[in-house]
Structure 1
Amino acid sequence: MAKNKLQEGSGPSQRQLRVGELIRRALSEIFARGDLHDPDLNRLSITVGEVRTSPDLRIATAYVLPLGGKGQEETLKLMARNKGELRRIIGKKLALKFTPELRFQLDDTFDRMDDTRRMLSQDAVRRDTGE
């Protein structure tokens, strides 16, 4: 029982990280090569920043962003519409015992980096950090 409590708070396991990275690479390749049957999705340039898997590896959440950040909601809808085909292609590419259910969310990493830069460039913060 104590072991499970320790694992819960310690972050993702090596296996979760490895499977997430394999799925991220596969999705990136699929989007770059236009391997899908949906021309609307194939015409988009999509960045897959990260894929996080659930501890049981049954769910994979891909954090994505269309090039330039435009059409984010449309991109999420197109990806949701094609998640069955994406899952099937990933299942063929990767030798996993079970291909996880795919979920998609917008990657807000770049927005957070911009916010951090803005905050660090403020005069009061620069004074406090000694720059």
Structure 2
Amino acid sequence: MSELRANRIAEQLKKEIGEILNRKIKDPRVGFVTITDVEVTGDLQQAKVFISVLGDEREREDTLKGLAKANGFIRAEIGSRIRLRKTPEILFEIDETIEYGNRIETLLRDLDK
């Protein structure tokens, strides 16, 4: 499996999952979710979807629970939208890089003062 193909499929998954979350998921726990990245294994069996959630820690946990509940529906939608032999298993994770970057920026500002 070429890395280029895995990257193309990851980008397609990012686009399709984003559209599904915005238009099809009606769960109130799934609020303002942004997909920041998708990593697909070389054999296309698993896709790790990194999300950013607007809100506090409790809202993030609720969003992850809502996404876990809707995982089967999302996977079925992906299967009908993207032509693959086997639809990858989807794992959702909170992307901590934005918070990490903000924290470093705050520390640098404090040092500058």
Normalising by the residue count of structure 2, what TM-score does the alignment of the two structures yield? 0.84
- How many residues are paired up? 110
Q: Is 2:97 the counterpart of 1:121?
A: no
Mean CA deviation greater in 64-73 or 98-107: 64-73
The structure whose RCO (Cα within 8 Å, separation 6+) is larger is 2
% identity of equivalent residues: 27
8 Å Cα contact 1:31/1:45 also seen in 2: no
Matches within 5 A, 1:43-54: 44-54=31-41
- State the Cα distance separating 1:118 from its structure 2 match: 2.3
- State the Cα distance separating 1:67 from its structure 2 match: 2.6
Q: What letter is aligned with 2:12?
A: L
Task: Give the aligned CA root-mean-square deviation in angstroms.
Answer: 2.1
- State the Cα distance separating 1:110 from its structure 2 match: 1.0
Q: 1:102 to 1:47 in 2, by over 3 A?
A: same
Task: Could you list the structure 1 runs, at least 4 aligned residues long, displaced by more than 4 angstroms after superposition.
Answer: none
Stretches of structure 2 lacking an aligned partner (at least 5 in a row): none
Flag the structure with larger Rg.
1
Normalising by the residue count of structure 1, what TM-score does the alignment of the two structures yield? 0.73
